[in-house]
Structure 1
Amino acid sequence: LVFFWFLVYFPILFSPMISTLKSFKITGENVRELRFLLYGPVGAGKSSIINTIKSIFEEHQYINCLTASAVTGDSFTRKVSFEKYNVGNVPVTFYDVMGLEKDKLKGVHTEDIISALKGHVPNDYTFKECAPIDEDNRYYILKPTLNDQIHCLVSVIPADKISLMDEEVIQKMKDIRAAASKLGIPQVLFMTRVDQVCTMTQQDVFTLKFQNNCSNRLGVPLNCIFPVKNYSEEIKSDEKLNCMMLEAFTQIVHSANDFVKKNSNEKKRVE
């Protein structure tokens, strides 16, 4: 329902949202940047989300976080590294990892994602296909600080492939979500490619249908599922697209900041 609403009111919303985000300050002490980890099945559009957000804030089409054409069916993020992407002057960082696959020995290991959530994985670390990172690895961060941890977990699922997702991949995502829940890390879901499943005049009805499907399969509450569209064919800025993404981005920034604030206060009480 929110998708159609944005189509009408986006000119009024865009400027205040972008201004608020550009002036955003983190509440928690000793945290330099809010850290978001994007994960999901192969071809979900994780890298494209980063491209889209960077394009909005840097005011040009950003394509350095490379992506693959949707027709290939393969993950472009073949090098399974824990690579960070900053967003303009906003104090946030995104981490993109290789997509999840049904075979246990393919794609990124769920154990590696869980270690990253806890802050044990350093920037630019290359994950090993043979074994997840552990305490015996010389790069393992043994005592991570709040600044090393992930502050919000972002599941990414394409709307046009939800019903086709393999149960093994769904289970991997549930396992990762369960670990994040134990850590108290906020979680949201970005539902990409909504433009591929319905016409513009049907967006309000069909988007809710696919949100319900996502919620049922992954157990994510409806108010934590955000339909978004990434830049793919566009060569010029599209404010409708920007507004949808900024609304989702604003929500995860506030969720991550609340997590940092809460954990900073708890650390103070312990000390």
Structure 2
Amino acid sequence: MYTPQVREKMADKPKEKPSLFNFGAFATPNTCEPPAFTLNAKPATVSSFLSDIIPEKKSNALKLPAVRAVQPTFGLPWRNMEWTEEHKKNLMKTVSSYRPSCEMITGAQVLVLGPVGSGKSSFISSVQSVFHGRVVNRAMVGSISTSFTKKLQTFNIQVKKGEDSGLVMCDINGFGDGDITGLTLHDIVSVIKGHIPNGHKFSLEQPVTSETVGYVKTPSLAEKIHCVVFMVDASKIATYPKSLSATFRMLREQISNLGVHQVALLTHIDQICAATAADVSQVYTSSAIRDAMNKAGALLGMSTSYIVPVKNYSSELDLDLKKDILLLSAVDHILQYAELFFQDNKPKKKQMIL
């Protein structure tokens, strides 16, 4: 029994309302409203509630993976590659000794196409660096959002000082945000057909016509483009506008109608995989790079068998064996498809009439 004084104090004291989030109390909530949330409130969680009634054990709850410095990799390479000095020498010999099977052609002309900043000019300079034995920037490279290249430029890849290889790389304006800026689809097709002279500066206000200065009305087989290389930036592939895919596919359709084979290079691979940034030989074990290649294939409408990853020289001052091998492998890949053009367009021998 309570004394009158105690009962009076109990009557004055407000009754506590059980909280709906007070899991540990096992109290049945009444019909009152739950307390409002505040920034400092720390309500009990489901896991803390379960820990009170269930013995501790490993949780199978889905957890977001922590950010790792190195991307997950496959146990085994999904493409085979030798990373030895001997293999580099063999690749250099293969590229250096290549000559088009058509006797009238001295060099395979390869046109490099891609969005602004995809690494077109850097690739050309990187390939030349391998044969020079030091990093050179033969094709001028920019770091701005608009295309640094403004005109058609051809580069004879030299295997030795003063000695050209059988490869001529052609650089051209980059694409804009999903659209072709600085040049039109008609201009690109005209380049591939061999109508545009080296050094021609492109302008949207002055598209190429038969009246353009230097226009080649009847181009020879040697003046045409024999293979097209598309460049795709691995670090931007997830943010490319949808319209860019339409641009690529439109180009591919037009180029295929001309009988010109196409391949693709995946650039900036070090920016999507820390393991590859540290060691380029990890490129073909990287799940991140393999995923990017699949996305590039979808973007281009192209099988991944046509796509190879590369690491261009950018800030480096010295060559790296593994980067050289990756670059040379890409060039060998390109030359194989350029050679298919010559095989498809060999002049037919005149049959002797007896």
TM-score (norm 1): 0.90
Query: Equivalent residue for 1:232?
Result: 314
**Structure 2 CA distance, aligned partners of 1:181 and 1:53?**
26
Q: Secondary structure at the match of 1:264?
A: coil
**Structure 1 CA distance, aligned partners of 2:127 and 2:180?**
31
Match of 1:191 among 266, 277, 291: 266
**Structure 2 residue identity aligned to 1:152:** C
Shift of 1:103: 7.0
**Structure 2 CA distance, aligned partners of 1:124 and 1:138?**
11
**Structure 2 residue identity aligned to 1:47:** S
Instruction: Name the Cα RMSD after superposition.
Output: 2.2
Shift of 1:102: 3.4
How many aligned positions are there? Answer: 265
Match of 1:75 among 147, 155, 166: 147
Q: Which has the larger radius of gyration?
A: 2
Aligned counterparts, 1:63-212, within 5 A: 63-69=137-143, 72-77=144-149, 80-88=150-158, 89-102=164-177, 106-200=181-275, 203=283, 204=285, 205-212=287-294
Please say if 1:32 is aligned against 2:114: no
In the superposition, relative to structure 1, how do residues 103 and 164 fare at CA in structure 2: closer, same or farther (>3 Å)? closer
In the superposition, relative to structure 1, how do residues 165 and 198 fare at CA in structure 2: closer, same or farther (>3 Å)? same
Query: Equivalent residue for 2:18?
Result: none
In the superposition, relative to structure 1, how do residues 2 and 95 fare at CA in structure 2: closer, same or farther (>3 Å)? farther
**Structure 2 CA distance, aligned partners of 1:5 and 1:45?**
25
In the superposition, relative to structure 1, how do residues 11 and 121 fare at CA in structure 2: closer, same or farther (>3 Å)? same
User: Any gaps of 5 or more consecutive residues in structure 2?
Assistant: 1-75, 159-163, 277-281
Q: Secondary structure at the match of 1:100?
A: coil
The 4+ residue runs of structure 1 with deviation greater than 4 A are 1-5
Q: Which moved more, 1:38-47 or 1:118-127?
A: 118-127
Query: Equivalent residue for 1:246?
Result: 328
Shift of 1:251: 1.3
User: Any gaps of 5 or more consecutive residues in structure 1?
Assistant: none
Shift of 1:139: 2.3
Q: Which moved more, 1:125-134 or 1:112-121?
A: 125-134
TM-score (norm 2): 0.70
**Structure 1 CA distance, aligned partners of 2:180 and 2:115?**
14
**Structure 2 CA distance, aligned partners of 1:16 and 1:135?**
45
**Structure 1 CA distance, aligned partners of 2:240 and 2:328?**
27
The structure richer in helix per residue is 1
Query: Equivalent residue for 2:130?
Result: 56
**Structure 1 residue identity aligned to 2:293:** Q
Q: Which moved more, 1:228-237 or 1:105-114?
A: 105-114
**Structure 1 CA distance, aligned partners of 2:78 and 2:275?**
9
